[in-house]
Amino acid sequence: MGLDLTTYAMIVEELSRGWISISGIVNTHFIGSYLLMKFGSEEQRQTVPAADGHGRDQAAFSLSEPSSARMSGDQTSARKGEEWEV
């Protein structure tokens, strides 16, 4: 949409007045789109939105912080070749 973050936040806040769950839906989409725009390859930018928009794929992401394992149970991760396994 080309909006600055303050305007975006004001829109989401106003939408949330009528339906609080919308903020989670909109912000999850925003985070995924932002990460794709900022760090995705050109190929990902062309294929991911089309697949998501047609319901063929679903995007997901995980937020973590250094103390998250203590808060949510024992979690470990290890690099397996080019991939990470949690």
Q: What is the pLDDT of residues 29-51, one digit of tens each?
A: 788 788 888 888 998 888 877 65
Tell me, what's the pLDDT at 68?
57
Name the pTM for this structure. 0.51
Q: What's the CA gap between 75 and 69, in Å, rounded?
A: 5
Q: Which residues contact 62 (CB under 8 A, 6 or more apart)?
A: 86
pLDDT digits (tens, 9 = 90+) for 21-32: 888 888 877 887
Q: First CA to last CA across the chain, in angstroms?
A: 35
| Mean pLDDT for the stretch of residues 47-57 | 68
Q: How confident is the model at residue 7 (pLDDT cuts 50, 70, 90)?
A: very high
